[in-house]
Structure 1
Amino acid sequence: MPQKQKLERLDKVIAAQTDLSRRDVQRLAGRGQISVNGASIKKADLKIDPDTDVVMVSGRALALKRHVYIMLNKPRGVVCATSDAALPTVLDLVPDSLMRRGLFPAGRLDKDTEGFVLITDDGAFAHRILAPKSHVPKTYTVRLDAPVTPQMIEAFAFGVQLGGAVCMPAELCALDTPDTARVVIRQGMYHQIKRMFAACGAHVLALRRDRIGGLSLDAALGPGECRELSAAEVAQIALAGA
């Protein structure tokens, strides 16, 4: 049986997804300028379902959603953080039409790594796909300063030792040229791919994440571009780790 979605306070939902504060919402409700499913409401603490209830403010329908999931093609030089004093962040690339309070990158890419970053405000979903026990695969394309060797492939398959820890088995296969490869990992240790290749005597020159779970980066997205994911696409991410 599907789990029943938890209802949320009207003022909290509107404040999270618009430029209105909770106090603004309370004031507008008191003036009769907010309706839910066609009925005028006076109390801003009314519990609603953001995914199904129709909310109007001053005659304008709000496109409310419980959560948002955004695919970003991260360029080099941008950091996976919500804020940074010196460098641009992935949130700086989210357009106003998708921006809302509480957005964060679900997982991190290094500053000089490109590709698929998932941005969301759904903490439970992010935890589920990032938890070590979930084993959601992440697929990368890498360019090295040396050819991929059978010894590297074998080391990745058995688990490369990094310090006092042994990585989970990973998939490594050479691509069109000897120094480019595809890597699939199922955990997220610090600088993991770069360190794994370094342990095998190779240096990573370029790295791009192409896929999270069962969902590939949209080829139509240029560097720095993003778009919202559909429910079916979000499910593709999670199901790959089931």
Structure 2
Amino acid sequence: MARLILFNKPYGVLSQFTDRGTQTTRQTLSDFIKIPGVYPAGRLDRDSEGLLLLTDDGRLQARIADPRFKLPKTYLVQVEGEPSEASLEALRSGIRLNDGLTRPAQVDRIDDPALWQRDPPIRVRKSIPDCWLRLTIREGRNRQVRRMTAAIGNPTLRLVRWSIGSWNLEGLPPGEWQEVTGRFDIR
């Protein structure tokens, strides 16, 4: 039976078990998860937070991570400024990035979510408002959500992946993980 781990990746943690990049020590998955043989199904940038799935099953890992399967990934995104309805509609239609047109996203403006405090906190500019979006995509290009919000003129300040498919962060604090049991039907 395949193992599936839900991990709430904190800000600043690499989505890998070792750090081969710099002379300074950065936190990795091995600082939080001591289960041999599991690997991330996809990635989250070091400066992003939220749900990361890990499994010991290569086929399951591919089904979760491969954009061909169009598994929805929902993000809570704090952006600088307040996007216009036209800007949100552009995201819903698909937006042109330097690597091509994105698939249409589901996006809505939301109230400030009840999230944990980020360490370090985001930079706040008193003269520029910010707002939160719930954005769902079905692909996974490099830094895609950040590039999408920048393309509409509203850079991302904080990015939290809330869910992948039917799995979400509900009740899972940052730096904690839980194992999911049962059969995994990915559609």
- TM-score after normalising by structure 1: 0.65
Deviation at 1:209, TM superposition (A): 0.6
Deviation at 1:151, TM superposition (A): 1.5
Counterparts in 2 of 1:81 and 1:131: CA distance versus 1, 3 Å: same
Question: Structure 1: 5+ residue runs without aligned partners?
Answer: 1-65
Aligned pair count? 166
Deviation at 1:218, TM superposition (A): 3.0
For 1:133, which of 64, 68, 89 is the aligned residue? 68
3-state DSSP of counterpart to 1:156:
helix
- Which letter maps to 1:187? E
Counterpart for residue 91 of structure 1: 30
CA contact (8 A) 1:79 1:88 kept: yes
Q: Which has the higher contact order (CA 8 A, sep 6+)?
A: 2
Deviation at 1:202, TM superposition (A): 0.9
| Aligned 1:1-150 pairs, distance under 5 A | 66-85=1-20, 86-95=25-34, 99-100=35-36, 102-150=37-85
- Which letter maps to 2:182? A
Counterpart for residue 225 of structure 1: 176
| Aligned 1:117-196 pairs, distance under 5 A | 117-176=52-111, 179-196=131-148
Question: Structure 2: 5+ residue runs without aligned partners?
Answer: 113-129
| Aligned 1:197-208 pairs, distance under 5 A | 197-208=149-160
Deviation at 1:91, TM superposition (A): 3.1
Deviation at 1:176, TM superposition (A): 1.4
Deviation at 1:92, TM superposition (A): 2.3
- Which letter maps to 2:72? P
Counterpart for residue 27 of structure 1: none
CA contact (8 A) 2:42 2:64 kept: no
3-state DSSP of counterpart to 1:118:
strand
- TM-score after normalising by structure 2: 0.83
Per-residue displacement from partner, 1:109-134 (whole Å, max 9, x unpaired)? Answer: 01111111001111111111222220
CA contact (8 A) 2:3 2:181 kept: no
Comparing both structures, which one devotes a greater share of its residues to helix?
Answer: 1
CA distance in 2, matches of 1:173, 1:110: 23
Q: Tell me whether 80-89 or 67-76 shows the greater mean CA deviation.
A: 80-89
Counterparts in 2 of 1:164 and 1:88: CA distance versus 1, 3 Å: closer
3-state DSSP of counterpart to 1:179:
strand
CA distance in 2, matches of 1:129, 1:106: 6
Which runs of at least 4 in structure 1 moved beyond 6 Å after TM superposition?
none
- Which letter maps to 1:78? V
CA contact (8 A) 2:83 2:152 kept: no
- What is the Cα-based RMSD across aligned positions, in Å? 1.5
- Which letter maps to 2:181? S
